[in-house]
Amino acid sequence: MATIFYDDDADLSLIQGSKVAVLGYGSQGHAHALNLRDSGVDVRVGLRPGSSSRQRAQEEGLVVKDTNEAAAEADVIVVLLPDTHQKSAWENGLADAVEPGNTLVFGHGFNIHYGFVEPSDDVDVILIAPKSPGHIVRRLYTQGQGTPGLLAVHQDASGNAAELGKSYAAALGLTRTGLLETTFQEETETDLFGEQAVLCGGVSHLVRDGFETLVEAGYQPEAAYFECLHELKLIVDMMYEGGISWMRHSVSTTAEWGDYVSGPRVINDQSRAAMKDILAEIQDGSFARDFMAEWEAGAENFTSHRTAGREHQIEQVGKEVRAMMPWLDEPTEELES
C-alpha cells in the first residue's frame, strides 16, 4: 500500500522560509504560483521574454522575471515548462542558474527519468504532481479543500528533500486530501501509459470509432454524437464518484448487461496486447526518444495529426450540438495552430 502524507506530516514553515521561482504559467504554473503566494511563500514567476502569460501573471499580482533571472534568485526552482521545452531551457542558461544547495521541483518526471535534464549531484530533485488540472488545484485551494498529489525524491543532496517536498505540497493544498509517495519512474511510466492507452488515446479513439460506426450505418451524426461522446461524461462522473460498480448500479440493467457481454468484444486480448506493447515502449524509453525527436525535427507529424483530428466530422457536429446547450461553458481559449 502507498504511504500517504497529510497536513500533520508537513511543516509549512520550510517552504515559507524559501525563495521560490515557478517557471511557466500554464495550467499548473498559475495554480502553483498563486497557491504558494496565498500560503505565505515568497514566490516569483519565471517566463521567457515575450511570453503571452506575462501580463496575466502580473495582473494576478505576481512578480514576473525572465526564466533564468527568476531561477538565479531562488532557493527552490519549480520547472513547470512543457516537457518539450525543458531540455532546451536547461541547456540555455537554466542549468547555470541552479546553485549547489538549491531544490529543483518537477510536476512530471519525464525529463529527469529519461535523462533529457541531468542536474548536478549537489541539488535536491523532487516531484510534486497534483492529480488534477491546474484550475481545479486552484479552485479547491480557494475553497479550503485540496486535490490528491504525488511526492517523489530523485536526488536528496541535503538529506531533507522529502520534508521540503511535503511542505511545498502543503502550500498547494495537496496534503489536505492526501500526498502519495512514489518514484520518478513510477509516476512517469504510469502517467504516460494512462494518457496513451486509456485517458487520451484510448478514450478519444473509442469515441471517434463508435461515432464513425453509427454514421456509416446511416444513423444521424447528431444521434451518434449524443450516444458516443455527450453521454460519456455521465458515465465517467459515476465512475469517478463511486467506481465501476457504482456506474453499473446506476445505469439500466440493459446497459449493465451490454457492459458485461459486449465490452470484452471491443476491449479484448488484442487490445490488451497492444497496451502491453505501449507500456514496453514507455519503459524502455523508445516512446520518449521518438517523441523528442519528432519535436526537435519540427513536429510535422504531430501537427498533421492535430489538424486531421480537428477536421473530423465529430468536431463540427459537436459544435452544433453543444450550441443547443447554452449552459455549457465552451472553452474561450483559442486552439493553438
Tell me which residues are annotated as active site. 108
Where residue 285 falls (left for φ over 0; alpha for ψ -120 to 50; beta otherwise) is left
C-alpha cell at 234: 455521465
Cβ pair 313, 215 in contact under 8 A = yes
Q: Per DSSP, which regions of the chain are E strands?
A: 4-5, 19-23, 42-47, 63-66, 76-79, 103-106, 124-130, 149-155, 179-181
- Note the Cα 285 to chain centre separation in Å: 19
Cα-based angle 125, 131, 137 (whole degrees, multiple of 5)? 100
Among the listed residues 181, 176, 173, the one whose alpha carbon sits nearest the alpha carbon of residue 36? 173
Q: How far apart are CA 277 and CA 74, in angstroms?
A: 42
Beta partners for residue 181, in sequence order: 151
Please write down the long-range contacts of 114-122, taking CB distance under 8 Å and 24 or more positions apart: 114/188, 114/285, 114/288, 114/289, 116/86, 116/87, 116/90, 116/288, 116/292, 117/79, 117/86, 117/87, 117/90, 119/95, 119/155, 121/155, 121/157, 122/157
For the chain, helix (H) and strand (E) counts, in that order, are 18, 9
302 burial class (0-12, 13-18, 19+ CB within 10 angstroms)? middle
Q: How many CB atoms lie within 10 A of CB 51?
A: 17
Q: How far apart are CA 100 and CA 313, in angstroms?
A: 54
Using only the alpha carbons of the chain, give its radius of gyration.
22
